Structure 1
Amino acid sequence: MTRLMVLGLLRMKPMSGYEMQQLLQTSATDRWAGILPGSIYHALKKMDGEGLVRVASVETTGHRSKAIYEITEAGREEYGRLLVESFRTPSVHLPVGLYTGLSLLYMSPEAEGIEEALQEQLQALIQQREALEAGFRMKAEHMPPNRMMELTVQNMLQQYDLQIDFLQQILLEPGTDT
């Protein structure tokens, strides 16, 4: 997804890796897209070698210089291919670690710390949901949301709500406090 995101950002305008990183962090896109700062620079370097992007200019400030990248025609074609592929790939990812633990819980009545671990996961999900919602509000201040963005935000928040509700139900069940 990093390649698709980088190419998509460069379709908007030429920019540096740092500018991309800041844009993704400000809008909290890096949280849900799973894009690490280093992966942006790695993708730019690799795609530059593949002819998908190129250095449009180099800006120097003091002793620092930064490359401003732009997308090439081959990059636009790759963007289109990756975009279509992103819609083809199944998008539901089940919490298999949690499901595995739950399926084995009855065999481990002596296990300690399960309730605490579930509470930690619950709190982490609540915090992630709040951060995601705040990021989208911030993004909406800078860019008016379109219908696809609204649907995406709604779906992401519903995913969090579903998992939060599931964990709360598990915590109400006898035997999770072993």
Structure 2
Amino acid sequence: MTRLMVLGILRMKPMSGYEIQQVLQISQTDAWAGVLPGSIYHALKKMEKEELVEIASLEQTGNRTKAIYKITDKGHNEFQSLLIESFATSSVILPTTLYTGLIFAESSASKQVIRAIDEQKELLTKQLSALREGEEHKEKAMGELSPITKATFESIYSQYELQLAFLDKIQNILQHDVEK
């Protein structure tokens, strides 16, 4: 995922690792893509060795030297391969840890389990809110979002809302079991 994201961003223009990180953070893409800041630098170094990116220039900022990377022809080919792979890979990822816990939930319903579901709902609600802010920031930075970008955000929101509704349903069932 990191390789695809970094190569895709570098297709826009040459950037430093920090600039790539900022693009991901401003749009909240790092949140749903799972791209950690350190992984960007690691990917850039590895892709430089593989000749997928190269240093376009070095910029001096105070005592620091900043490398500006650009994508190579080989990098464009790798990007295309990764892009095709991303469309061919299953896009449904099940919350297996939650589902495993649910196997035992009815026989082990407790107030602590219900509180844990509350914590997860709070976390998902915060993440959803941050993603909505990310869409707003992205739109301010880039102007009108493309139909595909809008559809992507809508899909992400729908998945969060579906999971929150599911957790509400499970919590209500378990609450009823605890009150028996």
Same fold, TM-score > 0.5, yes or no: yes
Q: Match for 2:99: what amino acid?
A: Y
SS at match of 1:126: helix
TM-score normalized with structure 1 length: 0.95
2:34 match: 34
**Given that residues 115 and 177 in structure 1 are in contact (C-alpha distance below 8 angstroms), is that contact kept between their aligned partners in structure 2?**
no
1:51-92 deviations in Å (ceiling 9; x for gaps) = 000001100012111000000000000000000000000011
RMSD: 1.4
**Given that residues 11 and 71 in structure 1 are in contact (C-alpha distance below 8 angstroms), is that contact kept between their aligned partners in structure 2?**
yes
Q: Match for 2:163: what amino acid?
A: Q
1:92 match: 92
1:129 match: 128
1:17-45 deviations in Å (ceiling 9; x for gaps) = 00000111011010011000000000000
Cα distance in 2 for residues equivalent to 1:61 and 1:97:
46
Correspondences of 1:8-19 after superposition (within 5 Å) = 8-19=8-19
**Percent of aligned pairs with the same residue?**
51
Superposition deviation, residue 108 in structure 1: 2.4
2:105 match: 105
Cα distance in 1 for residues equivalent to 2:179 and 2:55:
57
Picking from 167, 174, 177, the partner of 1:175 is 177
**Given that residues 111 and 178 in structure 2 are in contact (C-alpha distance below 8 angstroms), is that contact kept between their aligned partners in structure 1?**
no
Gaps of 5+ in 2: none
CA separation of 1:41/1:177 partners in 2, compared to 1, >3 Å: closer, same or farther? farther
**Given that residues 53 and 71 in structure 2 are in contact (C-alpha distance below 8 angstroms), is that contact kept between their aligned partners in structure 1?**
yes
TM-score normalized with structure 2 length: 0.94
**Given that residues 52 and 78 in structure 2 are in contact (C-alpha distance below 8 angstroms), is that contact kept between their aligned partners in structure 1?**
yes
Correspondences of 1:40-59 after superposition (within 5 Å) = 40-59=40-59
Cα distance in 1 for residues equivalent to 2:121 and 2:179:
15
**Given that residues 28 and 135 in structure 2 are in contact (C-alpha distance below 8 angstroms), is that contact kept between their aligned partners in structure 1?**
yes
Gaps of 5+ in 1: none
Which aligned runs of 4 or more in structure 1 are off by greater than 4 angstroms?
none
Cα distance in 2 for residues equivalent to 1:36 and 1:115:
31
Superposition deviation, residue 112 in structure 1: 5.1
**Given that residues 7 and 76 in structure 2 are in contact (C-alpha distance below 8 angstroms), is that contact kept between their aligned partners in structure 1?**
yes
Cα distance in 1 for residues equivalent to 2:125 and 2:178:
20
- Name the one with the larger helix percent: 2
Cα distance in 2 for residues equivalent to 1:82 and 1:125:
29
